[in-house]
Structure formats: C-alpha cells, structure tokens
C-alpha cells in the first residue's frame, strides 16, 4: 500500500514538473522531454548576474601571453604557428607526457623563442591556468578534457581557444556559455575550416548576394582515419566513438554552413533529424583494438537541420570506410551554387556575374560549373579581406594549407585590438551540440530534436556575420 502511494506521489510530482497534461514526458535520467512530436532538451535559465556575450570585446591586449595545453599530434603545430605571430609570448606548455612538452620546447628554441615553463601531468593544467601572467589558454587535448580545462581557465580569468568540437554534450555546451557569460572571458572554438580559401571566398560571395537566397547548405567530415587510430593518446578517439552515436565531429562541415546562413545573427537552428548506418568497420576496429563487441557510432551518419529562415543543412560524418577526404561544402542558392569537394566549382544564372569580372568571351549557364578561368577570376575578385591581408604569409607558415595560421592570426589580431572574435561562445555551442542532438534523434528512430537557443532568445539581435577590423 505504502509503495503504491509513493508511486502515485512520484507520478504527480512528475506531472507537475512537466506541466502535467501529458504534453511532455521526461525520460528518467535524461535532460530532455517530448513536446509536440519533438525532443526538447532542457534549457537552463540565465543565472542572475550573467550577461550575453554577443558582440563582446575585451580590453586590448598589446602582447598576448599564451599557455598551450595538449601537445600531441595537433598541439605542436599551433605552438609552431604562434612563433610566426607578432606580439605574442609563449609562457607555458602542458601535456600528460614530458616528451611532448620537450618536443614543443625544441620548437620554441628553433624559432628563437625563450623557453616556456613546462607542466606535466593530468592536473598540471590547473597550475598553468592559475598563473597571473597569462591571457590566453589554447587547448588541444582529447575531447572529454576540453570543457573541464576551458571552464577552469575562464574561472581563472583567462580567455580560451579550444579545439573542435569544443564540447561533447548539450550540458557541456551550456557550461561553456554560462562560464563565458559569468566570467566575461572569450571562449572561441578553433574551427579552422571556416578560414579555408574556398569557404571564406564563398562566404564573401554569399554575403554579396551572388548566390541569390541560399536555401540549402551541405558539409561533412568524411575522412578515413584507419592510418591514425593507433596514434591518439590512450586510444581516446576510438574509445569516444565506441561509446557515442551520432555526428561526433560535425564542426568542420557545419561551421562554414552556419556562417553562410547567419546563425544567431538573424537566423537560428530550429531542429534536426539524424539517421545513421550500422557500424561495420568501426566495430571491427574496436574489436581488434579494444576487444569490444559493440560500437555506438555508425559507419556513416547523416543529419538534416532546419533553420528559422527556412533553409536546410545536411551534414555527414564517416571516419571509417575507404573514401577520398571530403568536407562537401555546398551552398545552394536561388541564383547560384558553390561546391568545394571533390572539385571546387561555381554555377550561376546568366547575368549573375558582373561583366567586369568575367574574362572576355566567357559564357555562363545554369547547368554546368563555370570554366576554370571564370572560377579563378571569381576567386580573385571575391577574395575575402582577411585573405588579402594574410594569405601569403599563411601559405608560407602552413597548417592545413594555411587556414590554421589565418585562424590563429585572427584570434590574436582581435585580442590585440580589443575586438569581438570571429567565432563566439554561441558558435562553439551551436556547432558542438550536434553530437548529442544527432545521437538522440538516431536513438529515437530519427525523431526531430529541437536545437537549443544558446543565446537565450537573442539570436535576432545581431544582423549578419561580420568580421571585426
């Protein structure tokens, strides 16, 4: 009898919490409910004393003093690129392995930079973040360490630049947003692909209306990692994918699409659906390396997102099967089309390109890619101001052909000049939350999942993506 009363009591409390009436059925232990045929994640209210970071600019920092955390395959490249930037000091280097720190000390020595302080061990990042002579913490650890380190750094007054994806769950995305808003520290995700030469040029063309109204965009991370699985520290990446379904690495494909569609700058992501294939190659690799009999991540995952302004975005993830590297990057507009992989090309309606730009005698039709000379003329005419400024040096310094250096250059340029960063904490959250949202859709037979509004209603406050100079 007592147990029955307890059960009814719990049910009533549950109804009260969910607004009763059966409109919403929370799943025990999950942070989402079902509302009007959609899965809706809980959206925490903004705490008192916390303010939006939209358009946030910190005071200018004439010399940016930086500490690097995570010096495996990715980190040393960042250290090396920073030695080519003016107005930076590298104060600290941190990793789990002494040998990785030593390797980066050699990079500094080779570039004529003073030796940095070394920090080694799983908690050593705390000591680095606690220093009072550091402005920026640059994080390139495995994914599950991103948020704990980023939060600790912001709590200790540091701006943060964090590798992709910035966060591994919706709750972690809110943690980054809330910490950044509370501490008034930048939290920029290091999404480098938005600075690649085709993407940024296409963005410039899109912003100047060359494609008409964009109605659909595509992006992907299709990269067979079979040559890399053995190289990740303690097998962190295969281990993560073994446990997590969905598009766990969406930001390279998704970020450039969101920029072209002005997400949280007059537009927003409304909901997504996701469908994934079974796991065959992923499971086989995990059997071999981990003795696993299960693998959560499908070999190929497709996610479709609908925006407030009525556009669709398709993103794909496949790091398992033999395929050429592909980030897709397509913009489909009412008057034109851009496509990056497997070949870079544009298609336009006749009359869409100014005669001043077209080489003599060039013909445009809306069924084919423009000829190579027209493409090159467009790439030159619409070269983004950021590339005009730094392309040559970026190509010399390198990092995925130069885009990584463009990213670091812009980060430091904006900090030097006290400007808003190109990517804010809401971009980091929107692009990273795709992992858990897509997994949740897939788990519920591709049910729609609402994308949280990390700006808490302010997505229409800024109009259009702008880069600060």
Ligand X SMILES: NC(=O)c1ccc[n+]([C@@H]2O[C@H](COP(=O)([O-])OP(=O)(O)OC[C@H]3O[C@@H](n4cnc5c(N)ncnc54)[C@H](O)[C@@H]3O)[C@@H](O)[C@H]2O)c1
Q: Which stretch binds ligand X (CB under 6 A): 28-36, 94-102, 169-177, 419-427?
A: 94-102
Q: Among the candidate windows 139-147, 302-310, 428-436, 453-461, which touches ligand X by CB under 6 A?
A: 139-147
**Does 163 contact ligand X by CB under 6 A?**
yes
Q: Does 70 bind ligand X (CB under 6 A)?
A: yes
In whole angstroms, how close is the CB of 190 to ligand X at the nearest point?
6
Q: Which of 53, 96, 176, 437 binds ligand X (CB under 6 A)?
A: 96
Complete edge-to-edge strand list for the sheet that includes strand 301-307? 32-35, 38-41, 449-450, 269-276, 301-307, 312-318, 214-222, 330-333, 336-339, 345-348
Residue closer to ligand X, measured from CB, 125 or 459? 125
Angle at 147 between CA 71 and CA 56, to 5 degrees: 105
Q: Can you tell me the distance from the alpha carbon of 428 to that of 165, in angstroms, rounded to the nearest whole number?
A: 8
Q: In this complex, which beta carbon is closest to ligand X, that of residue 39 or of residue 140?
A: 140
Closest-CA residue to 341 (of 431, 256, 428): 256
Q: Does 143 bind ligand X (CB under 6 A)?
A: yes
Minimum CB distance to ligand X, residue 73 (Å): 4
Cα–Cα distance for residue pair 115/131, rounded to 1 Å: 16
Give the torsion through C-alpha atoms of 83, 201, 58, 45, to 10 deg.
Answer: -120
Per CB under 6 A, the list member of 64, 67, 90, 142 interacting with ligand X is: 142
Point out which span in 58-66, 88-96, 205-213, 409-417 binds ligand X (CB under 6 A): 88-96
Q: Give the nearer residue to ligand X in terms of CB position, either 145 or 262.
A: 145
Residue 300: φ, ψ to 5°:
-135, 125
Q: Which two tokens stand for residue 216?
A: 């659909």
Closer by beta carbon to ligand X, 71 or else 449: 71
Nearest to 301 by CA among 325, 285, 277: 277
Q: Which stretch binds ligand X (CB under 6 A): 44-52, 91-99, 175-183, 339-347?
A: 91-99
Which of residues 131 and 456 has its CB atom nearest to ligand X in the complex? 131
Told to check if 125 binds ligand X by CB under 6 A, we report yes
Q: 86, 97, 213, 288: which one contacts ligand X (CB under 6 A)?
A: 97
Specify the residue, 152 or 382, whose C-beta has the smaller distance to ligand X: 152
Task: CB nearer to ligand X: give 143 or 426.
Answer: 143
Q: Three-state SS string across 104-116, please?
A: HHHHHHHCCCCCC
Integer Cα distance of 126 and 298 in angstroms: 36
How many C-beta atoms surround the C-beta of residue 440 within 10 A?
21
Which of 248, 338 has the CB closer to ligand X? 248
Q: Is 71 in the site for ligand X (CB under 6 A)?
A: yes
Task: State yes or no: residue 122 binds ligand X (CB under 6 A).
Answer: yes
* Kind plus residue range of the DSSP H or E element containing 17: helix 2-17
23, containing H or E segment: none
Within 216-255, the residues that bind ligand X by CB under 6 A are 232-233, 236
6 binds ligand X (CB under 6 A): no
In the complex, what is the shortest distance from the CB of residue 71 to ligand X, in angstroms, rounded to a whole number?
Answer: 5
Q: Which two tokens stand for residue 284?
A: 């086989």
**Shortest Cβ 12–ligand X spacing (Å):** 45
Q: How far is CA 69 from CA 30, 50, 146, 160, 178, in A?
A: 32, 27, 10, 11, 22
CA distance 126 to 85: 26
Tokens representing residue 315 in the block: 């993103």
Q: Residue 466: which of 431, 414, 430 has the closest Cα?
A: 414
Interface with ligand X includes 94 (CB under 6 A)? Answer: yes
Residues in touch with ligand X (CB under 6 A): 69-75, 94-97, 100, 122, 125, 140-143, 145, 163-164, 190, 192, 232-233, 236, 400
């Amino acid at each position: 009898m007592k147990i029955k009363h307890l059960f009814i009591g719990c049910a009533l409390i549950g109804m009260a919490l969910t607004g009763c009436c059966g409109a919403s059925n929370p799943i025990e232990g999950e942070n989402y409910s079902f509302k009007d045929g959609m899965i809706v994640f809980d959206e925490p209210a903004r705490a008192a004393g916390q303010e939006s970071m939209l358009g946030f600019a910190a005071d200018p920092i004439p010399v940016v003093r930086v500490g690097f955390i995570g010096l495996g395959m990715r980190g040393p490249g960042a250290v090396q690129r920073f030695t080519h930037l003016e107005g930076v000091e590298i104060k600290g280097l941190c990793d789990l392995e002494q040998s990785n720190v030593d390797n980066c000390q050699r990079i500094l020595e080779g570039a004529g930079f003073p030796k940095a302080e070394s920090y080694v061990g799983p908690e050593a990042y705390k000591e680095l973040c606690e220093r009072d002579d550091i402005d920026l913490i640059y994080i390139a650890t495995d994914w599950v360490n991103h948020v704990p380190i980023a939060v600790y750094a912001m709590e200790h007054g540091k701006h943060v630049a964090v590798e992709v994806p910035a966060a591994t769950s919706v709750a972690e995305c809110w943690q980054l947003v809330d910490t950044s808003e509370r501490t008034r520290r930048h939290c920029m995700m290091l999404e480098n692909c938005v600075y690649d030469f085709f993407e940024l040029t296409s963005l410039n063309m899109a912003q100047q209306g060359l494609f008409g109204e964009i109605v659909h965009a595509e992006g992907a991370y299709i990269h067979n990692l079979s040559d890399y699985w053995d190289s990740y520290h303690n097998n962190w990446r295969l281990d993560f994918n073994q446990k997590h379904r969905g598009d766990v690495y969406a930001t390279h494909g998704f970020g450039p699409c969101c920029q072209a569609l002005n997400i949280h700058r007059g537009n927003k992501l409304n909901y997504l659906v996701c469908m994934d294939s079974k796991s065959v190659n992923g499971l086989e690799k995990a059997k071999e390396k981990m003795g696993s009999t299960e693998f959560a991540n499908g070999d190929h995952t497709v996610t479709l997102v609908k925006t407030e302004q009525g556009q669709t975005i398709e993103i794909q993830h496949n790091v398992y099967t033999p395929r050429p590297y592909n980030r897709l990057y397509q913009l489909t507009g009412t008057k034109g089309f851009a496509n990056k992989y497997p070949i870079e090309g544009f298609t336009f309606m006749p009359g869409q390109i100014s005669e001043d730009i077209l080489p003599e005698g060039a013909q445009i039709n809306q069924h084919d890619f423009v000829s190579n000379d027209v493409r090159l003329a467009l790439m030159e005419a619409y070269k983004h101001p950021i590339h005009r400024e730094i392309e040559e040096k970026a190509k010399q310094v390198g990092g995925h052909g130069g885009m990584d250096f463009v990213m670091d250059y812009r980060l430091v340029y904006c900090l030097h000049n006290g400007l808003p960063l190109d990517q804010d904490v809401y971009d980091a959250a929107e692009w990273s939350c795709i992992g858990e949202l897509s997994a949740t859709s897939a788990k519920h037979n591709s049910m729609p999942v609402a994308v949280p509004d990390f700006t808490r209603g302010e997505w229409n406050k800024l109009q259009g993506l702008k880069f600060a100079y």
